[in-house]
Amino acid sequence: MAPPNAHIVKSFDDDLRALRSIIGEMGGLARSGLDRSIQSLLSFDMELAERVIADDRRIDDLEMEVEAFAISIIARRAPMAQDLREVIAALKIGALIERIGDYGKNISKRVASISDSKYRGAGSGVERMGQMVSEQVDDAMRAFLDRDPYLARAVNDQDEAIDDFYESLFQTLLGEIAEDSELTAPATHYIFIIKNLERIGDHATNIAEMVHYSATGEYLEARAKGGDATGLTLPL
């Protein structure tokens, strides 16, 4: 007897499971890349930074796999209702995770430049922000794997704390540049790094939004996504 929620055509369930598992693997790799990029930054570990950069290729490959698989499921299975929402969500989440991987890679790419400078000021702030963002990615992925709209909403709500943290770090770094112009180069790298982290937080929130839509058919109410003090994005 098939489980109550199973498709009559069992291989359809196999397809959806396989699609989820690729997304799960991507999420794990992206989070690990993010954690290791922060670690390489804090310890100026060039070797680790290089590995993060190299490993990102695997995430890119998996994203293409997700895309091809999702298109194939749509073409062959003509998914409807929650199945359709799940496949579309997987397609979009795959792209979001791929971007998260890229941001981790970008952070690692700055390790060499920063390690040349004596500046160590922003380290603890970046470490803390990296943890917050990493947990955010983890929560978003758990919400996806558990189809949990409540956790998805919580991720959405937590993004504001990351944005606030980003703003305060940003102001601190601007202040340090103003005080000592020799810090302009390294502090600017840190500004890009925290901006990358802030964007990862936004992408985790976007993942959570897709999870919520996939699980319930309803969109989470839109909220402004952060970093407004830099003047680059406008509040919605």
Those residues whose C-beta lies under 8 Å from the C-beta of residue 232, and which sit 6 or more positions away, are: none
Of 156 and 214, nearer to other proteins (C-beta) is 214
Angle at 218 between CA 216 and CA 223, to 5 degrees: 125
Nearest to 201 by CA among 59, 49, 121, 99: 99
Rounded Cα distance between 203 and 103, Å, is: 10
Q: How far is the CB of 203 from other proteins (least distance, A)?
A: 24
Tokens of 145: 């794997």
Looking at the chain, how many residues does it have?
Answer: 236
74 binds other proteins (CB under 8 A): no
Tokens of 164: 């606030």
Q: How far is the CB of 35 from other proteins (least distance, A)?
A: 36
Of 9 and 18, nearer to other proteins (C-beta) is 9
Q: How far is the CB of 84 from other proteins (least distance, A)?
A: 6
Q: How far is the CB of 5 from other proteins (least distance, A)?
A: 6
- The continuous run of DSSP H or E covering 160 comes out as helix 149-179
Of 84 and 229, nearer to other proteins (C-beta) is 84
Backbone dihedral region for residue 231 (phi beyond 0: left; psi -120 to 50: alpha; all else: beta): left
What three-state secondary structure class fits 236?
Answer: coil
Of 85 and 92, nearer to other proteins (C-beta) is 85
Of 4 and 235, nearer to other proteins (C-beta) is 4
Query: Total number of residues binding other proteins (CB under 8 A)?
Result: 18
- With contact defined as beta carbons under 8 Å apart, do 108 and 53 qualify? yes
Q: Of 15, 35, 55, 83, which one interacts with other proteins (CB under 8 A)?
A: 83
79 binds other proteins (CB under 8 A): yes
Q: Of 17, 47, 75, 80, which one interacts with other proteins (CB under 8 A)?
A: 80
Nearest to 67 by CA among 96, 89, 91, 101: 91
Of 6 and 224, nearer to other proteins (C-beta) is 6
Of 79 and 186, nearer to other proteins (C-beta) is 79
Q: Of 22, 45, 48, 82, which one interacts with other proteins (CB under 8 A)?
A: 82
Chain positions 1 to 30 lying near other proteins, rule: CB under 8 A, are 2, 4-9, 12
76 binds other proteins (CB under 8 A): no
Letter string b/e over residues 42-64, b meaning 16 or more CB atoms within 10 A of that residue's CB: eeebeebbebbbebbeebeebbe
Interface positions with other proteins (CB under 8 A): 2, 4-9, 12, 78-85, 217-218
